[in-house]
Chains A and B, each alone.
Chain A
Amino acid sequence: MTEFTDWEIFRNLIMAARWTIVLSLIAFLSGGTVGLLVMILRTSGLVLARWLAWAYIELFQGTPLLMQLFLAFFGLGLIGFEVSAWSAAVVALTLFTSAFLAEIWRGCVQAIPSGQWEAANSLGMGFLQTLRYVIAPQAIRIAIPPTVGFSVQVVKGTALTSIIGFVELTKAGTMLNNATFKPFTVFAMAAVIYFAICYPLSVYARHMERKLNVANNA
């Protein structure tokens, strides 16, 4: 059994937390990009595109993230990619994040009164033009609070990548626990670090939401 002081445990966890943050950022950015495409398909006039986007969202919202991770892990190998825990984690988290963001953003787009679409159409603007110049500037404002709120789910979701062997905060926690047999200390510290990452995001989301409500009621 290795001797670790509490400080050493904490320091190791913090070092591993960097990977939690990096993975969260990558998942959020790539998930946001894919999510935007899915949202555009979901709100477009094409029936087939709408249906496909709906199925995509249902599939990834209706199945556990852990299963998506396993499927990415085994599926990537099956289609001939070199599989690392890292690539499987990025792929699965991107799919997961994009499905939720697409649905959140669809709600924001559809909250804009349909008269705006009609007005833009009557000015001769196409679907993408309307989305870009008329709808987006208004929708983004209402999209910020739920999007920031969802980022907390992404950070928490990265904890599951420890199960397929990606070394981030949770994996470091289980490794330190195996080395020190101090589960109470180790997992409490890991929880505190997660809390320190997530809580500011939660507070910010709530703050933005309140501000938006005030602005709308004024």
Chain B
Amino acid sequence: MRTELDFSSILPYVDVLLAGLWLTIQLTLASTALGILLGIAGAAGRTCRYRWVNKLTGAYVEAIRNTPFLIQLFFIYFGVSSVGVRLSATEAALLALTINLGAYATEIIRAGIEAIHKGQVEAAQSLGLSPFQTFRHVIILPALEKVYPALTSQCIIVMLGSAVVSQISVEELTFAANFIQSRSFRGFEVYLVITLAYLALSISMRQIFKIAGRYAFPNHRLRRDG
């Protein structure tokens, strides 16, 4: 039985670790931006007048929310490429992360839209704004602001979930951990360090979202809430 911890054997692999960390950050940034955009589109679809659009986005949300991300990832990477569309592992990972966040963001933003006072929409209509203009100028910003904390949490969950894409050999942080573990045989130490890196990422993401929120919604409740 080995009880002493030895972190020094990780040191030669610091560059591998940093490269992985950088790819995780890039994947997170891209999937957060694209996923929120997809979520806004989805929420527009979910609250729109046409029933079939409504049903279709509803089916998308339910399908994603009730299946594991790992299965979605395998389906996209192995399944879709088997029917002719060639995706690199990183592209497949980004696609899967975006589609996943998109579904959750749709549901979160929809809740925000439904919390907008009906009078606001009616006022916009009576001023002659088109449905798109109403959505763009009256609905979406206050809706996003209402659900901003929930959206923040969901983006962090997606960042943590991105650990799974190491399984299709995307060389991000977890992949780096597996690589170092297979070389140094210091499994616990390696995963402990990487786990703390993820913890640091999620804590800093929360802070960044908080600061970004202050700029995105300058004159509203967020300031009062903290």
- The reply to whether B71 and A63 form a contact with Cβ atoms under 8 Å apart is no
Residues of A129-147 whose CB lies within 8 A of B? none
Contacts A59-B199, A80-B1, A199-B66: A64 and B160 contacting too (C-beta < 8 A)? yes
Give the Cβ gap from B35 to chain A, nearest Cβ, in Å. Answer: 17
Contact with B along A183-217 (1 / 0, CB 8 A): 11001101100110011001000000000000000
- The reply to whether A62 and B71 form a contact with Cβ atoms under 8 Å apart is no
**Interface size of A as a range:** 35 or more
- The reply to whether B191 and A173 form a contact with Cβ atoms under 8 Å apart is no
- The reply to whether A195 and B198 form a contact with Cβ atoms under 8 Å apart is no
Closest to A68 in B: B195
Residues of B within 8 A of A202 (CB): 62, 65-66
Q: Which of A64, A79, A170 contacts B71 (CB under 8 A)?
A: A170
A70 to B194 alpha-carbon distance, docked (Å)? 11
- The reply to whether A63 and B195 form a contact with Cβ atoms under 8 Å apart is yes
Q: Assess whether B131 is interfacial by the CB under 8 Å rule.
A: no
Closest to A78 in B: B188
Residues of B115-149 whose CB lies within 8 A of A? none
Give the Cβ gap from A91 to chain B, nearest Cβ, in Å. Answer: 13
Give the Cβ gap from A173 to chain B, nearest Cβ, in Å. Answer: 7
The stretch of A2-10, A32-40, A43-51, A156-164 in contact with B is A156-164
Residues of A within 8 A of B67 (CB): 156, 191, 194-195, 198
Give the Cβ gap from B116 to chain A, nearest Cβ, in Å. Answer: 18
- The reply to whether B198 and A64 form a contact with Cβ atoms under 8 Å apart is yes
Describe A's contact surface by its main secondary structure: helix
Residues of A within 8 A of B174 (CB): 64, 66-67
Q: Assess whether A177 is interfacial by the CB under 8 Å rule.
A: yes
Closest to B72 in A: A191
Residues of A within 8 A of B75 (CB): 183-184, 187-188, 191
Q: Assess whether A87 is interfacial by the CB under 8 Å rule.
A: no
Q: Assess whether A17 is interfacial by the CB under 8 Å rule.
A: no
Q: Assess whether B219 is interfacial by the CB under 8 Å rule.
A: no
A-B contact count (CB 8 A): 124
Q: Assess whether B3 is interfacial by the CB under 8 Å rule.
A: yes
Q: Which of B181, B188, B199 contacts A63 (CB under 8 A)?
A: B199
Residues of B within 8 A of A75 (CB): 188
Q: Assess whether A74 is interfacial by the CB under 8 Å rule.
A: yes
A63 to B187 alpha-carbon distance, docked (Å)? 17
Contact with B along A73-102 (1 / 0, CB 8 A): 111011110000000000000000000000
Residues of B within 8 A of A30 (CB): none
Q: Assess whether B209 is interfacial by the CB under 8 Å rule.
A: no
Residues of A within 8 A of B63 (CB): 191, 195
The stretch of B13-21, B49-57, B78-86, B210-218 in contact with A is B78-86
- The reply to whether B195 and A184 form a contact with Cβ atoms under 8 Å apart is no
- The reply to whether B74 and A194 form a contact with Cβ atoms under 8 Å apart is no
- The reply to whether A183 and B164 form a contact with Cβ atoms under 8 Å apart is no
Give the Cβ gap from A90 to chain B, nearest Cβ, in Å. Answer: 18
Residues of A within 8 A of B3 (CB): 78-79
Residues of B within 8 A of A156 (CB): 67-69
Q: Assess whether B192 is interfacial by the CB under 8 Å rule.
A: yes
Give the Cβ gap from B130 to chain A, nearest Cβ, in Å. Answer: 33
Give the Cβ gap from A35 to chain B, nearest Cβ, in Å. Answer: 18
- The reply to whether B191 and A74 form a contact with Cβ atoms under 8 Å apart is yes
> Which A-B residue pairs are the 7 nearest by beta carbons?
A74-B187, A183-B78, A159-B68, A64-B163, A198-B66, A74-B188, A156-B68
Interface residues of A (CB under 8 A from B): 58-59, 62-68, 70-71, 73-75, 77-80, 152, 155-160, 162-163, 170, 173-174, 177, 181-184, 187-188, 190-191, 194-195, 198-199, 202
Apart from A58-B199, A194-B66, what 8 extra A-B contacts exist at CB < 8 Å? A62-B160, A62-B199, A62-B203, A64-B198, A160-B164, A170-B74, A184-B79, A187-B78
